[in-house]
Amino acid sequence: MKCIIIDDEATARAIISKLCQGYENLSVVEEFDNAIAAMKFLNKNNNVDVVFLDIHMPDFTGFDFIESLPNPPKIVLTTSDDKFAIEAFEYDCIVDYLTKPISQLRFIKAVNKLENALKNSLPATQEQEYLFVNINKRLIKLNFDKILLIQAKGDYVKIQLEDESLVVHTTLKNLTEKLPSNLFFQVHRSYVVNLKKIDSIEENTIYIAGTHVRLSKLSRPKLMNLINII
């Protein structure tokens, strides 16, 4: 797992780097004392698997950093403040929350979580054009180019196709991880849309095939970076 460390404190970066050295599967490729420099690095290097990220940094918080990335890597938050734990796990990319000082035992648990998260994250490649969904014990082929949008409904998702809709027993998060990130984007906590199917965007509303979907304030900047705008 290739990782970077972002922390404005040199001592904190050194501690995490030292902890990483104890694992053959962890390779620290770069360290940063500010989030802006890290963003520029990630924009040019898309092979980073993990970011060890401090929440509190001057002028730019860890959450600001995550929200600025269209497709963030797996994140392990490192902080001396535990009051943001609940907020942290609203982000699908955040795998763990480490409170400083970080013990080796606690770091081991974080590494295990990372390994499991990366192992279970199987995004479809650009060459793949479909997946199979299980509906009433029947596997149904689902072509990506036929999907308009996907809506979360508790333990189920509603997949809106061009000519019908399907209800599948899974979570929005699980399904999204199987979809190509260059084609699908989560615009709201409850909605994922096919970027190619968007007809128009007006303020915080997306229109697709006569249906309108809410665009969250957090998702809007990311979406604007993904689509071509003249």
Q: Give residue-wise pLDDT tens across range 93-148.
A: 999 999 999 999 999 999 999 988 887 765 544 457 888 888 887 888 999 999 99
Structure token pair of residue 209: 């095939």
The domain defined by 130-226 folds into OB fold (Dihydrolipoamide Acetyltransferase, E2P) (2.40.50)
CA–CA gap between residue 194 and residue 20 (Å, rounded): 38
Structure token pair of residue 13: 């970066």
What is the per-residue pLDDT for 230? 64
Asked if residue 78 has pLDDT above 90, the reply is: yes
Span 146-196, pLDDT tens digits: 999 999 998 899 999 988 999 999 999 889 888 888 889 999 999 999 999
2-120 under CATH 3.40.50.2300, yes or no: yes
CA–CA gap between residue 196 and residue 212 (Å, rounded): 15
Q: How far is CA 128 from CA 46, 131, 166, in A?
A: 20, 8, 20
Asked if residue 67 has pLDDT above 80, the reply is: yes
Query: Tokens 């959450």 — which residue?
Result: 63
Q: How many CB atoms lie within 10 A of CB 84?
A: 16
Asked if residue 70 has pLDDT above 90, the reply is: no
| Domain locations along the chain | 2-120, 130-226
What is the per-residue pLDDT for 74? 94
